Structure 1
């Protein structure tokens, strides 16, 4: 099962906090909690959880239904990014989120490559119609 990017980001924040507590990282080298504030982690986790639930409910894998689920999560993530001054998701985080969306769909039996091809796009473009981040 695909691991939510927010879980990986939280692990990095926790690891840095442990290093600070142990004295193995200088405070001047600590930035994870600023890069990934709890508000960003929690909101992203909620959006991805909703996405997982929506994907699990897809019955006939109709293209329009699948793209509606993708649209909902992307719009939710747009809002989260906007709530964080447009800097919630940087390049690496964007790539992780897109990969997570792709992997989650694939894990639920959706052939993302074929889905995208039927729309005349590449699999890396399935979020592009709505994505601001």
Structure 2
């Protein structure tokens, strides 16, 4: 099962906090809790959970239904990013989110390369119509 990017980010924040407590990381080198505030992590978790539920509920994997689910999660993530000053998701986070969307669809029986090809796009472009982050 695909691991939500927000779970990985939360683990990195926790590890940094442990290192600060242990004295193995200088406070001047600590930035993850600022980069990934709890509000961003919680909202991202919520959006990804809703996406998982929507994909799981798809009955016939109709292309439009799948793209509706993609659009919904991307628009939710756009809103989260905007609420965090447009800097909630940087390059690495964007890549992780796109990969997670792809993996989640694949795990639920969606042939993502074929889905993209039927729309005349590359697999990596399935979020592009709606993505602001």
Shorter-chain TM-score bucket reads: over 0.9
> In the alignment, what sits opposite 1:104?
104
Shift of 1:105: 0.1
- Alignment TM-score, normalising by the size of structure 1: 1.00
> How much is the aligned-residue C-alpha RMSD, in angstroms?
0.3
Q: Which residues of structure 1 form unaligned runs of 5+?
A: none
Shift of 1:28: 0.4
- Alignment TM-score, normalising by the size of structure 2: 1.00
1:1-133 map, 5 Å:
1-133=1-133
Structure 1 runs (4+) deviating above 2 angstroms are none
CA distance in 2, matches of 1:29, 1:102: 33
Q: How many pairs were matched up?
A: 133
Shift of 1:118: 0.1
Shift of 1:58: 0.3
CA distance in 2, matches of 1:109, 1:63: 12
Q: Which residues of structure 2 form unaligned runs of 5+?
A: none
CA distance in 2, matches of 1:66, 1:55: 7
CA distance in 2, matches of 1:15, 1:118: 43
